[in-house]
Structure 1
Amino acid sequence: MEKWMLGEEANRMTPPKDTGPTGGKTQARTGAARLKTWLPLTVLAALMVIGFALGLHKQLTLSNLIMERQELAGYVDRNLALAVLVYMSVYTLAVALSFPGASLLTIAGGFLFGWILGGFATVLGATIGACAVFLVARSSLGEVLTHRAGPFLARLAEGFRKDAFHYLLFLRLTPVFPFWLVNIAPAIFAMPFSSYTLATFIGIIPGTFAFTFIGSGLDSVIAAQEAANPGCAASGTCQIDVAALVTPQLLAAFFALGVASLIPVILKKFRNR
């Protein structure tokens, strides 16, 4: 009985755990880690909301491009290097904020700078924007979703990581899935950043140069529309269907390139069998 009472007295005298400075430091580190994890995604989401609220995505229209083409062309002639940097910045921001109309921006790049310079500027801007989304998604979503992934998603992620470069190259070459979704999915599957960057850079080259080539010939299309409907360029009423410029043959070529990118994966599976 005496021993039991002594034990109870000792328990009462023992100080509670994690109430001192060490516990406070642990909580501070946890809060800092959470802030570091979710702050990039919060900032990106806030910028997206602000951009859409201000209607910035509505400015990316073919009509605006046609109406302002003379002023834009004059600015490019006077300040080529600065104009290219501004264009790349706008393209990077549009991709990072997942604004619709990337194909239209690509056409504008070909129209303003020609298909070679416009193509390279677009590829660089799109790659930088896609990498920014990837890093934000990996820091904020990748670890959380990886820990909470079920068996199916875990097996899918493991299979993707084994040949991540070729799978992403296929997704970039075949314009089937939305560009923003392809930016995020590899981050969830913990794809290495270097492989993601290289696959993105190579994979968007064919489609980018195809659209900039279309843009480089836009002047002749506008001239034909002006001949049929004088004044339509100044008023922005020229009837130009961008979708009609993307032929089924062009889409078939993209799909063929995508299938070709999976050949190493197929050969590897046959060797393993």
Structure 2
Amino acid sequence: MEKKKILLVLILAGLVALFIGLDLNRFLSLEGIKTHRDALEAFYARNRLITPIAFILVYIIQTALSLPGALLLSLAAGALFGVFQGTLFAVTGATLGATCAFLVSRYLLSGWAQKRVGSKWDTLNVALERDGLNYLLFLRFVPIFPFFLINLVAALTRLPLRTFFLGTFVGILPGAFVYVNAGASLASIESMAGIVSPRVLGSFVLLGGFSLVPILSHKWHWARKSEKQSEA
């Protein structure tokens, strides 16, 4: 591995170790957010510009390093900034963090992936170059796919960066809105389990299904065209 890549890996590992060593995860808990809410609101009242920037930077780092606590940060965004601003800040931080993870993974692992899979992924890459946005929207809308894993796998393909960025920003908006909206009523939340209802999850799955409609329509169109050509 190149020296620059080794150095980057060491820096990333050091940041993760620092997070674990300082037990920073204790602040990213439901009780931690409730306990420090008044202090955060007081800080925000005195620092209207710095607080959103700091929040977005924390979200970027958390997402880029695939650390736990993304949902809790979204709750904090709702409690601190309100629904609409909180959603904007959370989605911005998560998208930029995911893009950082995507770029770092592509830089570190693209050569390895090319050697390991080579032409085996040609069909996948062609599909992603044509319909990558729709596939990514499906993966982002449906919250059963691990966020960090999507970042990693997407980086190993030829999915364009602009498609990844746009698909991530749009795809995580519904989920972010749900959690930020819940965070706006933080005092009434007793556990994370009750935030997303089966109806909301079903809506996410439905959104994911809609994102695949253009792909299915395209495949049906070409299947019909091939059928007519064979009959002729």
Question: Taking structure 2 as the reference length, what is the TM-score of the superposition?
Answer: 0.89
Cα distance in 2, alignment partners of residues 122 and 91 from structure 1: 7
Structure 1 residues 254-273: aligned runs within 5 Å: 254-273=204-223
Counterpart in the other structure of 1:103: 71
Counterpart in the other structure of 2:156: 188
Q: Determine what percentage of the aligned residue pairs are the same residue.
A: 36
Structure 1 residues 1-273: aligned runs within 5 Å: 34-149=2-117, 152-219=120-187, 221=188, 240-273=190-223
Deviates more, 1:70-79 or 1:47-56: 47-56
Aligned residues: 223
Contact 1:168 1:199 in 2 (8 A): yes
CA deviations on 1:2-28 (whole Å, 9 max, x unpaired) are xxxxxxxxxxxxxxxxxxxxxxxxxxx
CA spacing shift, 1:38–1:197, aligned 2, 3 Å = farther
Cα distance in 1, alignment partners of residues 116 and 11 from structure 2: 24
Counterpart in the other structure of 2:228: none
Displacement after TM superposition at 1:192 (Å): 0.8
Deviates more, 1:150-159 or 1:101-110: 150-159
Cα distance in 2, alignment partners of residues 157 and 183 from structure 1: 15
Contact 1:41 1:136 in 2 (8 A): no
Displacement after TM superposition at 1:159 (Å): 3.1
Displacement after TM superposition at 1:35 (Å): 2.8
Cα distance in 1, alignment partners of residues 211 and 63 from structure 2: 24
Cα distance in 1, alignment partners of residues 211 and 10 from structure 2: 35
Cα distance in 2, alignment partners of residues 50 and 72 from structure 1: 23
Contact 1:110 1:212 in 2 (8 A): yes
Contact 2:179 2:195 in 1 (8 A): no
Contact 2:56 2:92 in 1 (8 A): yes
Contact 2:128 2:158 in 1 (8 A): no
Contact 1:146 1:189 in 2 (8 A): no
Q: Which runs of 5+ in 2 are unaligned?
A: 224-232
One-letter identity of the residue aligned with 1:93: I
Displacement after TM superposition at 1:152 (Å): 4.3
Contact 1:107 1:216 in 2 (8 A): yes
CA deviations on 1:118-167 (whole Å, 9 max, x unpaired) are 11001111111001000001111023202220654443344333311111
Q: Residue 159 of structure 1: SS of its match in structure 2?
A: helix
CA spacing shift, 1:213–1:132, aligned 2, 3 Å = same
Cα distance in 2, alignment partners of residues 66 and 102 from structure 1: 16
CA deviations on 1:35-61 (whole Å, 9 max, x unpaired) are 344543442233223322332223210
Cα distance in 1, alignment partners of residues 163 and 195 from structure 2: 32
CA deviations on 1:216-268 (whole Å, 9 max, x unpaired) are 1123x17xxxxxxxxxxxxxxxxx11211211111111111111111111111
Q: Residue 122 of structure 1: SS of its match in structure 2?
A: helix
Q: Residue 117 of structure 1: SS of its match in structure 2?
A: helix
Q: Residue 49 of structure 2: SS of its match in structure 1?
A: helix
Cα distance in 2, alignment partners of residues 168 and 62 from structure 1: 30
Q: Which runs of 5+ in 1 are unaligned?
A: 1-30, 223-239
